């Protein structure tokens, strides 16, 4: 895995406090920041996965309760949208 440098500015007092806190845990500031970044990314992925699974469940529950739209109705609606888009594109040429 290739590595990249991440550079940002921080107040001197905060940097000093962070370095001391990291040292008290026998870690470097860079190690703690890498761990934070990994955890943050994993948390974001887990939150998105939970949201997506919930949305799928809502859709399945809705379908199972009979709240369905016939395929022909969906096709007609989107055919009308495609036609309207084509008309707008043709008018702009």
SS3 content of the chain, % helix, strand, coil (to 5): 75, 0, 25
H or E element: which one contains 15?
A: helix 12-24
Contact by Cβ (8 Å): 21, 31: no
2 confidence band (pLDDT: 50, 70, 90):
confident
Span 57-73, mean pLDDT?
A: 95
Instruction: Using the CB atoms, write b or e for 7-41: b if 16+ within 10 Å.
Output: eeeeeeeeeeeeeeebeeeeeeeeeeeeeeeeeee
Residue 86 has pLDDT above 90, yes or no: yes
What are the residue ranges spanned by the domains of the chain? 12-68
pLDDT in the model for residue 20? 96
Residue 93's pLDDT is 82
pTM above 0.75, yes or no: no
The pLDDT-based confidence of 79 (bands split at 50, 70, 90) is: very high
**pLDDT tens digits for 25-52?**
999 999 999 999 999 999 999 999 999 9
């Amino acid at each position: 895995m290739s590595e990249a440098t991440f550079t940002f500015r921080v107040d001197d007092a905060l940097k000093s406090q962070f370095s001391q806190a990291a040292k008290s845990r026998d870690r470097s500031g860079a190690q703690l920041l890498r761990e934070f970044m990994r955890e943050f990314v994993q948390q974001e992925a887990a939150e998105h996965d939970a949201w997506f699974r919930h949305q799928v469940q809502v859709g399945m529950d809705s379908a199972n309760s009979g709240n369905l739209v016939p395929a022909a109705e969906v096709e007609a609606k989107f055919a009308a949208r495609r036609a309207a888009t084509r008309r707008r594109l043709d008018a702009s040429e």
